[in-house]
Amino acid sequence: MPWRECKPMDERLKFVARYLDGEKISALCREFGISRPTGYKIINRYEELGLDGLEDRSRRPYRHANQLPFQVERTILSIKREYPSWGARKIRDKLLREFPQIKPPAKSTVHAVLDRNGLVGRRKRRRYRAEGMPLSGASKPNELWCADYKGEFMLGNHRYCYPLTITDYRYRYLLACEGLESTKSPFAFTVFERVFKDFGVPAAIRTDNGHPFASPNALFGLSRLSIWWLRLGIRIERIKPGCPQQNGRHERIHLTLKKEATKPASFNFLQQQGRFDDFVEVYNNERPHEALAGKYPGDVYTPSTRCYRMPDPPEYPYHDRTITVTRCGRICIGRRKINLSTVFAGQNVGIREVDDKIWLVSFLNFDLGFFDEEVGRVEPGPNPFVPKL
């Protein structure tokens, strides 16, 4: 009969009591379902410690193979208190010089000791806060486009529609009005690629700070969409948060769109897109515009002379190395992994040593930030996307 899991202490007491009454240990072990060595161990513990010997004992090992001796840990802490500004590397070197007979601990082990005792100062990463950018005007078509999502609305089949609109700033030409299922990047990529193929590539695009135009958790608010624009040679402009009037020309189109193409909403996406297409045709080629002296936007707008084509991977001849960012957003140098941002996944960046073991990370012609051997991430530098006045 094996031990009952609920009360093993009672089973051991019965086993010992029957042994003391003179029963053979072989028969007892068979009946209780234990081996003879285990039976003798129980009896020896009882004879040595009494009833306390029958209690469950801790399975914790007496020592850990990789545990640092407490004398060494105490010495590390004393060196740190004597030299508060020293890091793990210097403390380790000092320890080896004073005690060459001990097994040298790894730098990470020394750092772990300091961290465990609250002696490591943690630097708080500066979180990017959208502040907007200096905005430019446009005297010619395609010098500046504007893009935004009109507020979502529900279709007759109870699915939400997110209209993405793109206009030319100078002549108010409505380049696209596409009803999308969400504001996720893949949908926006498809729309912008079609517009670039039909109308060429603009010099700049102005948006707000929402997804997918910007990402609050990435360096300088960059997103996969805005990085694609930068690779195409498009300058990005962002309005100040909470100031939609900075994109007022574009917002005015949404008011007309809402009145003429969304009330009442169609039943499904196909029907609603048909209404959007009709609205684009009327807005561009039949509706006189007061700001254009009564002309139609289609009368004065001309496509861009910059044809769309997939950009070549960027090269960095003046940097020390060109590295492709991993899918998890890291720069891998040997066994080192430096966190950059997942929005750069698959992109080539350049790194260059600008000081002793301090490296500059660049994307295209923009310097993003720095990293060193102590910090496993890129710390942002000055925002390179704000025009220098």
Q: What is the average pLDDT across 255-268?
A: 90
Which pLDDT value is given to residue 154? 93
Write the burial class of residue 336 (CB in 10 Å: 0-12 exposed, 13-18 middle, 19+ buried).
exposed
Instruction: State the pLDDT confidence band at 385, using cuts at 50, 70 and 90.
Output: confident
First-last CA distance in the chain: 87
Q: Which of 363, 365, 360, 364 is nearest to 381 (CA)?
A: 360
Residue 255, pLDDT above cutoff 70:
yes
Which pLDDT value is given to residue 133? 60
Residue 196, pLDDT above cutoff 80:
yes
Q: What is the average pLDDT across 248-253?
A: 86
Residue 86, pLDDT above cutoff 80:
yes
Compute how many other C-beta atoms are within 10 angstroms of the C-beta atom of residue 289.
17
Instruction: State the pLDDT confidence band at 129, using cuts at 50, 70 and 90.
Output: low
Q: What is the average pLDDT across 131-146?
A: 79
Instruction: State the pLDDT confidence band at 122, using cuts at 50, 70 and 90.
Output: low
Residue 389, pLDDT above cutoff 70:
no
Rounded Cα distance between 320 and 352, Å, is 5
Residue 146, pLDDT above cutoff 70:
yes
What is each CA distance from 218 to 128, 288, 308, 347, in whole angstroms? 7, 42, 27, 14
DSSP H or E stretch at residue 380: strand 379-380
Most confident of 83-97, 180-194, 231-245, 348-362: 180-194
Residue 319, pLDDT above cutoff 80:
yes
Write the burial class of residue 342 (CB in 10 Å: 0-12 exposed, 13-18 middle, 19+ buried).
middle
Which pLDDT value is given to residue 348? 94
Q: What is the average pLDDT across 362-366?
A: 91
Which pLDDT value is given to residue 241? 81
Strand 348-355 with 321-324, pairing:
antiparallel
Residue 3, pLDDT above cutoff 50:
no
CB 67 within 8 A of CB 87: no
Lowest-pLDDT choice from 137-146, 170-179, 278-287: 137-146
Handedness of CA 89, 91, 94, 95 (dihedral sign): negative
Q: Radius of gyration of the chain from Cα atoms?
A: 35
Q: What is the average pLDDT across 249-272?
A: 90
Task: Give one DSSP letter per residue of 15-64, joined into a string.
Answer: HHHHHHTT--HHHHHHHHT--HHHHHHHHHHHHHHGGGGGSPPP---SS-
Instruction: State the pLDDT confidence band at 62, using cuts at 50, 70 and 90.
Output: low
Which pLDDT value is given to residue 248? 83
Which pLDDT value is given to residue 109? 81
Per-residue pLDDT tens digits for 23-42: 888 888 888 888 888 888 88
Q: Which two tokens stand for residue 57?
A: 């004992």
Rounded Cα distance between 231 and 193, Å, is 13
Q: What is the average pLDDT across 73-80?
A: 88
Rounded Cα distance between 331 and 325, Å, is 5
Q: What is the average pLDDT across 332-359?
A: 87
Residue 305, pLDDT above cutoff 90:
yes
Residue 18, pLDDT above cutoff 80:
yes
